[in-house]
Structure 1
């Protein structure tokens, strides 16, 4: 077994931000117990100043175990990344031990709180994952978080290319991603990847009245990984995961429901709107795929003006199956909010047998930034609990997991809290449509599927304009992306599901 102490965000300084007694308490415990290694995921200092690095160098020497230290955004302030290399060590590196490899990578951007693993660093990380692909256990460590975190206030400071990094880690079957940054301990399973955020080890700034903490990571030979958050009060929250190899599942039971999911049609008279592609997709939906429900996850029109809404309504009415549409941020620009209600009506909860579709409005006037809000979060949780005996599908515009090939700036500003509600309530399926690219991913027990653009030329999808087919079986969900022009198909995901639904 390999046992790792994961600390983060010490914020060592001479001021009040640093709680030296908490640091000493945790370090003494780490030195006393049987840890094989300590990983510090950044924000060693508070402002990246020389006197802070000098003190940090002294404080880190108290740790009597092999130690890996990464830079954080606070360390990169005031050209502190130069001092980091002088007083602490390499910004990027590799550590091997038995069947384990840890690859750490600098995600900081000088003088910004946001992060990025881009350009040459992204290529370096990819090359290292390929070089050490033979290792049984692979850990990637960085400072910034990959998926939205609860209890962090406004969701910002993520990796700008979080979608690309997450996609890279999943493709290379990385077992564990560890990070810090937001001072909130949190553990998620994203497909086969465990994502573990550490709280802050010795900074005074904690969230929601929490206390200082660190993570305990255990990797066992039988393929199990456990991550426990231990607070200075002695409280321990532990989760255990079994490392599973990716498998292709075959449905063993009957198909119950078929959904067509689309987004970002952006109907307009501009050259970027591909009307022929949209009409071709409508024809295929009506004649070939014949779904039980068609869902559009926002941005029906390019701009919220009556001419575009009239044209969009005419096209939308050509779709024969029952339909559900939620607004996107483009839809409510200018007069769009009034026009949306006039042409399409406010989306309402839709019940179809054992299936319940819960629309969530996340858009705001004149901005791509979305928010569900504290009242909206409460309503969402209430709906999920009210219909817990049904197959619950949440439909919204903004993405809650990062999208590949899209610059992630926290488009849903309370995405961390929304994701927490969705996973805690074991939501059966979440459909989103922001970012111009398709994605299928499972967080905890909840599949989350994002639709690419069905008919807008300015998208980010190498597969082209597309829509998704989602087939729901008694024991699994299967999602495929359909190229809107040629009809070619690509697998987005196959996920086994467990529900409380009494299928007849």
Structure 2
């Protein structure tokens, strides 16, 4: 077994932000513990100043274990990235250990709180993952978080290209992604990737009245990963994950529901709207695929004007299956809020045998940024508890996870808290439709599936315009992406249903 101490956000400074007693307490625990090495995921200093780096170099020497340190956004302020290399070490690098490797990468942008692993750094990370592909344990470390976190306020500062990085890590079967940045400890499992966000080790700025903490990571010989959040006060919290075996499943049991998931038709008279593509997709849905239900995840029109709504209504009234239509941000521009209600009605909860579809409204006037809000989150949790025992589908427009080929700027401003509600309640399926690219992953026990654009030319999908076909079996959920023009398909995801 490999045992790792994960610290972050020490914010060493002479101006009162640094809690030296918390740092010394945690370092003493680490030195007395049987750890193989320690990883510090950034914000060693508070302002990236020379006097802070001098103090940080002195403080870090107290750790008597092998130490991997990488920069955070505070460290690169005031051209601190130059001082980091002088006082701490390389901004990017590789640390090898028994059966495994840590690849750390600088995710900072000078003088910004935002993060990015792009350009040369992305290619370098890809090359290193290929170079060390034979290792049993592959760890990637950066400062910025990869998926939205709960209890952090308004979602921001997730990696700009978080979707691309997440996809890269999953494709290369990375075991663990470690990060810090938000001063909140959290552990998520995304497919077989464990994401460990360390809390705040020794800074006064904790959130939600929390206390300082660090993470204990255990990598077991059989592939199991255990992460324990160790607070200076209070009980330990641990999460364990065993890799899913086998990776490929064959759907079994009875198919209980088929859904066509559609998004971003953006009906209009603009040149970017592909009329024949939408007509062909609707014909394919009716004649060949024959779903039990169609869910449109928003942006049914390009702008909220009556002419576009009349056109969209004529297209979609031709779909034979029952429909759930959820407004996107384009749909409620101008007079769209009233027109959506007039032409498609208020989205309502739909029950089909043992399946219930819960629409979640996120769109706001005149902005692509969505929100659920405290009241909406409370209502959502109540509905998920009310329908516990059924196959619960939550359908909304905005993304709750980052998707590839899209710059992630927090389109759902409370995504971290919403994701927490969805995963806490074990939601059986979440459907979203923003960003113009199809994608699907399972976080904890909840598959989250995003639909690409069915008929809008300005999309981000190399597969072209598409929609998703979702088959729900008694024991599995299978998602196919269907090309809108030719009808060719590819597997987007297949997940066992929870027992």
Q: After TM superposition, is the score higher than 0.5?
A: yes
Q: 1:502: which partner in 2?
A: none
Q: 2:226: which partner in 1?
A: 226
Q: 1:149: which partner in 2?
A: 149
Counterparts of 1:253 and 1:320 in 2: how far apart (Å)? 26
Counterparts of 1:371 and 1:246 in 2: how far apart (Å)? 38
Shift of 1:246: 5.8
Q: 2:263: which partner in 1?
A: 263
Q: 1:368: which partner in 2?
A: 368
Q: 1:430: which partner in 2?
A: 430
Shift of 1:91: 0.3
Q: 2:312: which partner in 1?
A: 312
Shift of 1:97: 1.0
**Runs of 5+ consecutive residues of structure 2 not aligned to the other structure:** none
Q: 1:339: which partner in 2?
A: 339
Task: Please give the per-residue CA displacement for 1:150-194, whole angstroms capped at 9, x wherever unaligned.
Answer: 000000011000000000000000000000000000000000100
Specify the SS of the correspondent of 1:195: strand
Residues 478/128 of structure 1: CA separation in 2 closer, same or farther (3 Å cut): same
Coordinate RMSD, CA, aligned: 0.7
Counterparts of 2:67 and 2:496 in 1: how far apart (Å)? 39
Report 1:180-219 matches (<5 A). 180-219=180-219
Specify the SS of the correspondent of 2:194: strand
Counterparts of 1:98 and 1:185 in 2: how far apart (Å)? 27
Specify the SS of the correspondent of 1:331: coil
Shift of 1:15: 1.2
Counterparts of 1:496 and 1:315 in 2: how far apart (Å)? 35
Counterparts of 2:441 and 2:243 in 1: how far apart (Å)? 17
Report 1:297-446 matches (<5 A). 297-446=297-446
Q: 2:81: which partner in 1?
A: 81
Q: 1:288: which partner in 2?
A: 288
Shift of 1:245: 5.1
Shift of 1:224: 1.2
Counterparts of 2:426 and 2:242 in 1: how far apart (Å)? 19
Tell me if 1:243 matches 2:246. no
Residues 246/46 of structure 1: CA separation in 2 closer, same or farther (3 Å cut): farther
Counterparts of 1:103 and 1:389 in 2: how far apart (Å)? 42
Counterparts of 2:209 and 2:93 in 1: how far apart (Å)? 35
Residues 130/14 of structure 1: CA separation in 2 closer, same or farther (3 Å cut): same
Counterparts of 1:64 and 1:104 in 2: how far apart (Å)? 20
Counterparts of 1:49 and 1:168 in 2: how far apart (Å)? 34
Specify the SS of the correspondent of 1:113: coil
Task: Please give the per-residue CA displacement for 1:53-92, whole angstroms capped at 9, x wherever unaligned.
Answer: 1110110111110000010001111111111001100000
Counterparts of 1:129 and 1:317 in 2: how far apart (Å)? 49
Q: 2:52: which partner in 1?
A: 52
Counterparts of 1:368 and 1:181 in 2: how far apart (Å)? 25
Tell me if 1:488 matches 2:482. no
Q: 2:68: which partner in 1?
A: 68
Specify the SS of the correspondent of 2:24: helix
Specify the SS of the correspondent of 1:334: coil
Counterparts of 2:415 and 2:293 in 1: how far apart (Å)? 26
Shift of 1:234: 4.7
Shift of 1:225: 1.0
Counterparts of 1:353 and 1:221 in 2: how far apart (Å)? 44
Shift of 1:434: 0.5
Task: Please give the per-residue CA displacement for 1:403-447, whole angstroms capped at 9, x wherever unaligned.
Answer: 000000011010000000000101010000001100010000001
**Runs of 5+ consecutive residues of structure 1 not aligned to the other structure:** 500-504
Shift of 1:235: 2.1
Specify the SS of the correspondent of 1:337: helix
Specify the SS of the correspondent of 2:35: coil
Shift of 1:110: 0.6
Counterparts of 1:41 and 1:247 in 2: how far apart (Å)? 31
Counterparts of 1:243 and 1:272 in 2: how far apart (Å)? 44
Tell me if 1:170 matches 2:175. no
Shift of 1:244: 3.3
Task: Please give the per-residue CA displacement for 1:307-326, whole angstroms capped at 9, x wherever unaligned.
Answer: 10110111110111110000
Counterparts of 2:384 and 2:483 in 1: how far apart (Å)? 32
Counterparts of 2:469 and 2:427 in 1: how far apart (Å)? 19
Checking the alignment, whether the CA contact within 8 Å between 1:349 and 1:357 is kept in structure 2 is yes
Residues 83/246 of structure 1: CA separation in 2 closer, same or farther (3 Å cut): farther
Specify the SS of the correspondent of 1:28: helix
Counterparts of 1:246 and 1:171 in 2: how far apart (Å)? 16
Specify the SS of the correspondent of 1:218: strand
Task: Please give the per-residue CA displacement for 1:465-501, whole angstroms capped at 9, x wherever unaligned.
Answer: 00000000000000000000001101111000025xx
Checking the alignment, whether the CA contact within 8 Å between 1:175 and 1:243 is kept in structure 2 is no
Give runs of ≥4 in structure 1 deviating > 3 Å.
none
How many equivalent residue pairs? 499
Q: 1:96: which partner in 2?
A: 96
Checking the alignment, whether the CA contact within 8 Å between 1:437 and 1:453 is kept in structure 2 is yes
Tell me if 1:36 matches 2:36. yes
Specify the SS of the correspondent of 1:431: strand
Counterparts of 1:246 and 1:70 in 2: how far apart (Å)? 35
Shift of 1:50: 0.8
